[in-house]
Structure 1
Amino acid sequence: MLAVPLAACGSNWQSALDVHGTSAISLKHLILLIVAVCSVVWMLVMVALIWALWHRREGRPTSPEPGRERRMTLAVTGGVIATTAIIGTLTTMSFFATRNLSVAGQDDLTIRVRGLQWWWGLEYIGPDPARRFETANEIHIPVGRSVHFKLEGLDVIHSFWVPSLAGKQDLIPGRSNELTIRAEQPGVYRGQCAEYCGMQHAHMALLVIAESQDDFDKWSNAQRQAAPLPAGEEAAAGMQTFLTKPCAACHTIRGTTAVGTTGPDLTHVGSRRTIAAGLFETTRGSLAAWIADPQTIKPGNNMPMVPLTPDELRGVSAYLASLK
């Protein structure tokens, strides 16, 4: 089976003007207002320039025109007042449009987001430690409920941006930033790292899947469960290969002896829509291609090439594809 790039299969649309979240709607209105005001100012300047050129007289007058200095003073004063009023108004509106991006409520769903080169680590946290779980690169949220993100950068500066739902916020090593989003309708919203973070910056995407509260509850309950036991001899052999090779030292699969923390949690990797931070759709062929040669597919990433025989590669890909 061949691994097919996600872009070839039709990636999800992302646009700051195609908005479906409360914060993104406010930011869109702010953007349109700024563009409209700047357009009007530009047109007025062009009209004034054309008028001045049209009425320009050759030579300089021997004596000043009566009232000319007063008119010029009024024009300059009016321009300064208008500029101050426009900048002050836009600054104030920008403040009110963005100040709620990090405001959290007591009933908000809280997700810790870790930015790494080049993938997203996710931890759904809450007051009950037993209900916490980890996943990677794919965020599920309930529609109509505020979701509070705690953003942390672990290596370099990254930036979390899902333009259809909210503005962007940086993930800075040694500092915790926060962002609150709220999806107003179901859908799959594509996000992207918006701060250059290395050679694979362009391949650090994520998906936010907004769904009904019932569907979210079913998904989160399934995610809390340990990995299912392999069905079939090939997947069972793949599990043994995974646990005895270096894979288990870097990845966690809950319910097994694999407890590594360097790479993404793979407990339910087969249920995710993409792998490698949005690079491929999750298929057995994509998993096999990634395991066989991750450095050719995504040069510079931290996953080493693990030597596997063809039978071992088929077994491990079958096992990971079964983790749903």
Structure 2
Amino acid sequence: METLANLESFVQSAENGGFSAAARRLALTPAAVSRNVAILERNLGIRLFQRSTRKLTLTEAGERFLLEIRGNLEGLQVAIAGAATDHGEPAGVLKVSLSPTFGADYVLPLLPAFLARYPRIRADWQFENRQVDLIAEGFDAAIGGGIELAPGVISRPLAPLHIIAVASPAYLKGRTLPPDPSGLAAFDGIVMRAARTGRVRQWTMRNAAGSEVDVQLPGTIVFNDPSAMCRAALLGLGVTLIAVPDALHHLESGALVRVVPQWYADAGSISVYYATRTLLPAKTRAFVDFVADTFRRERLAERFAGSIG
């Protein structure tokens, strides 16, 4: 009986034109994919690929074999995943990408309860400020905002990603608060430089009535990290525009206050991202559902809404 790993390695190599591309799809090394295909060829007694230093092409026997198994393989994968879901608990390494501040503040605290419910899952979580390639880098899921959807990746919104203007009470003492965002031009600004473009991020703020105002916040201090911007605001260095989750604990404690509380910028949504498949692995489905249920139970979508002044 041929193993599923060998068959998957063959089909992905054929459909993606090489062992390296197949390895990215399967979260394996190219050497492992090549070895699986070689074992399959030996077991079948036929050569499936013509190999060269530049490309991998199917032989006539390989093309025929691919046509015969392609449809059946997907059904077999679904059957195996379904059996595991029905008769076994979610298990395996769960590789997740998270931004450092948001991940540590809002997702990491969920881990004890999650692992208590699913003790056969092992967490491999990476905290960094970059957009990962879920499929190529072998991630099961990612949580963040403003992530571009790559082919084969879908998102499940968790909460709004709203940007608000905040400052410390000490900085605002003796200053007249502006009625709308146009007045932010008179304050010291702690602004964000985008890592990919090198440009200072500009925002358009809106209110509940639908009015919009372009923000002209001076670049008195320029950072490339939201947590540093929040820290600078706490130190009384000026006004900054940051996402509600980054400021929430400080707003609740009174260490920061909103400067134009009825105004916010809409940066999309905070979502959990994962690869679309016929049947999601049980470990990934468990994680996605657990996070979504927790956000709903703790009303984080409402708490993160900058539209609530």
TM-score, scaled relative to structure 1: 0.24
Question: TM-score of the superposition, structure 2-length normalised?
Answer: 0.25
Which protein has the larger Cα radius of gyration, Structure 1 or Structure 2? 1
